Amino acid sequence: MKTVSEIMTKKIRICSPHDSLTTAAQIMRDINCGSVPVCEGNKVVGMITDRDIVINCVAEGKDSNKVHCHDCMTTDVVTCSPDTDIHECAQMMAKHQIRRIPVVQNGDIVGIIAIGDLAKENIFVNEAGEALSEISEQDHYNH
């Protein structure tokens, strides 16, 4: 059994709830991903996505320097622990239609696991592929 701790990214970037959406977008640009955990200290309190920024700020004509992460982040965050089996992690991504899951231990964020991390594990490519396929199908049906 391989666990999340073996393949997760340990060096992570986070936002605070009071950071501007510009700050969040710059972090996404710098690490080349579409979502960032929002934390108070080391506690995950939300996730902010590029889509959140576009829908809740850009499309509304708001100033991204004046809108904060807490204004449009998702607060119902799916997390896993470092000892979560990577099969289970792939199933969580598919079930919740997400691509990244913060990894939490004793209430503190210790890493993040992305669908790409699962895809790199050759034996689990099918599960990661299935999760990605289900996420893509969901996106397709929402348009």
Instruction: For the chain, give the mean pLDDT.
Output: 87
- 142 pLDDT band, cuts 50/70/90, is very low
Query: What CATH number has the domain bearing residue 134?
Result: 3.10.580.10
Which residues, 6 or more positions from 108, have their beta carbon under 8 angstroms from its beta carbon? 42, 43
Q: How far apart are CA 129 and CA 143, in angstroms?
A: 21
DSSP 8-class letter at 105: E
- 122 pLDDT band, cuts 50/70/90, is low
Q: Bridge-partner residues for 85, per DSSP?
A: 3
Cβ-based neighbour number of residue 74 at 10 Å: 14
Exposure on the CB side of residue 5, measured as CA atoms within 13 A: 9
pTM for this prediction:
0.83
* Residue among 97, 88, 85, 92 nearest 133 (CA): 97
Q: How far apart are CA 2 and CA 131, in angstroms?
A: 18
Q: H or E stretch including 101? A: strand 100-105
Domain count for the chain: 1
Range 114-125 average pLDDT: 69
Helix, strand, coil % over all residues of the chain, rounded to 5? 45, 25, 30
Range 72-76 average pLDDT: 95
Please write the tens of the pLDDT for every residue from 17-60: 999 999 999 999 999 999 999 999 999 999 999 999 999 999 99
The single-letter code of the amino acid at 107 is G
- Per the structure, the complete domain to which residue 119 belongs is given by 4-141
* Residue among 82, 114, 110 nearest 101 (CA): 114
